[in-house]
Amino acid sequence: MGLVTLGLSGAMGYDPAAALFIDGELMLAVEEERLIRRKHARDMLPIESIRYCLRAAKLKPRDVDQVAIAYAPVSLLSPARWHYARRYWYAPDRALDVLFNGNRRFRRYYQQIQKMLSDLGIPLEKIKLIPVEHQLAHAASAYYMSGFKEKTAILCVDIKGEYATTFFGYGENGRIHKIKEFYDPDSLSGMYASVCDYLGFDMLDGESKVMGIATFGSADKYDLSFLADYRGKDFKVNTKMLNVVGLRRYKHRGIGHSFTPALLEKLGPRRAGDVFQDPYVHYAAGIQHLYETITTGLTAHYLSGILKSGGKLAIAGTGAFNVKLNQRLRALPWVDEVYVPPAAGDAGTAIGAAAYVLANHNNLPVAPLRHAYLGPKYTTERCIRACEAHRDKPRFELLEKPAEKAAELLEQGHLLGWFQGRMEFGPRALGNRSILASPLAIDSVKEINQRVKFREKWRCFAPSMLPTLAAEVLGGAQHADFMSQTFDVPAEWQKKYPSVVYRDGSTRAHIVHKENNPRFYALLRAMEKLTGVGMVVNTSLNRPGEAMICSPEDALDMFFGSDLEYLIMQDLLITKPPEDNSGWERS
C-alpha cells in the first residue's frame, strides 16, 4: 500500500469534506452535507466523509499516514494580523484580540480535529497532522489538479481564510509561490456577499442568483465604486458600508447583517420585494461589474508577467463560482487557458491541503484531476432493495439500455431524474446526480422551475453536450468539464435554445467526454440520434435548500416529494404508482 493521505476542509464553519489520496493519486472525495443531508453542514466536522473514504478504499483507520487540514497558525510577525487590527480599529475588542490571541480559532479547530480523529480510531501518535494555510490550500486545489505543466498564474478569490482573502501567485515545477495577498476585511468576495445580503439573499447561496440577475440590469445606472477604494494595485473595502462587525452592523429583528445603516442611507432600504424592480436589479449589475473590474485589474497588475510567459491561469476560492468573472478573466489578452476546479469553494480545500502536503512535504508528483466523480456509488441491486423497502412503493423496471430509454423519454418532452455511478464532488450536477430535460421542449424546461426545483422563472439552466457539438456552439472551449465558466453563444444557437443561455448571450456549458462518463456520453449520443442534437438541459438532483442527492433512498424521497414522473437509477426505470392504487406492483 502506498502513502495514505487524508485532506480535510471545514475550518471556516461550513462545507466540511474529506479527500483521500494514495501516493499522489486522488481516489475519493465527498462533502459532509451529502451524507448527513444538511446543506453546507454548518458547524460540523467531516466525520461521515472520513468514514466513507476509508470504507470505500477498503482501508482501516490505522492505515492513514497523514492528515492535512486547510487552516494554519499565522505569526504575529505576519502583516496579516496587524492589517486586521488596523482595519478593525472601530471594534477595539477585535483589534486587540487579534494581536494578543490571533491563533485562538486555529487552536480550537486543531483540537477538534485531533479529538475527531481519535474518536474515529485514527491514532494520533502514528500520523502526521499538517496544517496548510487556507489560501494555499485553495491555490493547490487549482494548480496541482489542473495538470498544467507550464509556469501557471494562480488566483484565489475567497471570502476569507485565517486572515487572507485574495491570493495572487504562481506555480512552477510543483511549487507554489506567493506574489501578493489581501487581508480581511479587504475581501472581493466579501464585498460581493455583503451586497447579496443587502439584496435579500443568503451568503454562500445567493451569489449565483445575483450574478444571474445582473444580466438583466444596467451597471451604468448607479455607480457603486464608492464601495471600494481601488487604485490599480491596491484595494480596500469601504468599511463604513460593508464587511463590518460589531456595532457597525445593521440589525433587523435581532439579526446582524454585514453592511451598515450608512449603506441603507446611500442606496435605500434592503430589498424586500421584487428584485427586478429599480434600483435593485441595477445594483446587482453594478456589484457584478465592480467585482469583475477590480478582480481583472488586480490580476493584470500582479499576474500579467506570469501569464505572458505561460498563458495558463488557475482560479479557486468561493468567488471562483462566479462564472461570469471567470469568462472575463479568460478574455485577458495574455490568457490562453483557464482552469477552475469543480469544488472551487471551501470543500475543495480538502483536496488542496492534501495535494499541497504531498508536493511540498513528501516531494511526490500529484496527478491532475481527470473528473469529479469521486463520491459514493450504488449498484442496481442496491437500488432495487431501496425500491422494495421504500414506503411509497415505487414501480420499477429493469432496463437493458438505460441511455436509450432516457433519450426516448427526454425526446417526448418528459423531465427525468438521472442517478448513475459515483456522485459528483462539488456543487455542479455533472451527469450522475441530475435532473434532465430536452432543450427542444421549452415547456418541460419551465416545469423544472415550476414543479421540481421551485426556482425563479428567470433562471436559466446549464447544457451538457457532446464535444463535437461544443466545437460548433462554444468555439473550441477548453476546460469546460465542470460547468465553471461561461462562453458566448452564436446568435443562431441562442434562438434555438434560449433556456440554456443567459440574457447576455452566454452559457455555463458542460462538455461530456466518453472516457470520463461513458453512461452520460451514451445518453447524449442517443439524444443526437433521436433529435439531431447531442445536448440536454442539466440541473442538480435535489429540491430547494437540500444538498445534492447521494443515495438511492435520497433519490426516492426526492422523487416522491416532487412532480418528477420518471427516475432512472442505474439500470432501473422508476415510476410512481397510480394515486388510487393502494397496492404495489413490480413491473
Fold of 188-338: Nucleotidyltransferase; domain 5 (3.30.420)
**What are the residue ranges of CATH 3.30.420.40 in the chain?**
4-144+345-360, 188-338
449 in Cβ contact with 455 (< 8 Å): yes
* Cα–Cα distance for residue pair 474/481, rounded to 1 Å: 13
250, 180 in Cβ contact below 8 A? no
Buried-state track 336-365, b at ≥16 Cβ within 10 A, e below 16: ebbbbbbbbbbbbbbbbbbbbbbbbebebe
**Residue 168: closest CA among 305, 332, 327:** 305
Yes or no: say if 40 and 386 are a contact pair by the CB < 8 Å rule. Answer: no
Q: Which amino acid is at 400?
A: E
Q: What is the pLDDT along the chain (587 residues), one digit of tens a residue?
A: 799 999 999 999 999 999 999 999 999 999 999 999 999 999 999 999 999 999 999 999 999 999 999 999 999 999 999 999 999 999 999 999 999 999 999 999 999 999 999 999 999 999 999 999 999 999 999 999 999 999 999 999 999 999 999 999 999 999 999 999 999 999 999 999 999 999 999 888 889 999 999 999 999 999 999 999 999 999 999 999 999 999 999 999 989 999 999 999 999 999 998 899 999 999 999 999 999 999 999 999 999 999 999 999 999 999 999 999 999 999 999 999 999 999 999 999 999 999 999 999 999 999 999 999 999 999 999 999 999 999 999 999 999 999 999 999 999 999 999 999 999 999 999 999 999 999 987 766 677 777 676 666 667 789 999 999 998 888 766 678 999 999 999 998 888 888 888 888 999 999 999 999 999 999 999 999 999 999 999 999 999 889 999 999 999 999 999 989 999 999 999 999 987 443 444 44
Residue with cell 444538498: 547
CA dihedral 556, 560, 562, 563 (to 10 degrees): 120
Give dist(CA 405, CA 391) in Å, integer: 26
Helix (H, G, I), strand (E, B) or coil at 39: helix
| CA–CA dist 315, 332 (Å, integer) | 14
Cell numbers for 445, please give them.
Answer: 424546461
Cis amide bond preceding 279, omega within 30: yes
CATH 3.90.870.20 fits 380-575, yes or no: yes
Q: In terms of Cα–Cα distance, which of 114, 89, 123, 107 is closest to 4?
A: 123
**156: Cα separation from own chain's centroid:** 14
Query: Is the distance from CB of 161 to CB of 133 less than 8 angstroms?
Result: yes
Cα(115)–Cα(288) distance, integer angstroms: 42
Buried b (16+ CB within 10 A) or exposed e, 383-398: bbebbeebeebbbbee
Asked whether the beta carbons of 417 and 566 are under 8 A apart, the reply is yes
The number of helices, as runs of H, and strands, as runs of E, in the chain is 19, 24
Determine contact, residues 319/161, Cβ cutoff 8 Å: no
Domain(s) labelled CATH 3.90.870.20 in the chain stretch across 380-575
For residues 562 and 542, give the distance between their C-alpha atoms in angstroms, rounded to a whole number.
Answer: 10
CATH tag, 4-144+345-360: 3.30.420.40
C-alpha 71/C-alpha 134 separation (Å) is: 5
DSSP string for residues in 365-432: PPPPP--SB-S----HHHHHHHHHH-TT--EEEE-S-HHHHHHHHHHTT--EEEE-SSPBSSSS--SS
∠ CA 111-125-46, rounded to 5°: 45
Dihedral sign computed on CA atoms, order 114, 117, 123, 129 = negative
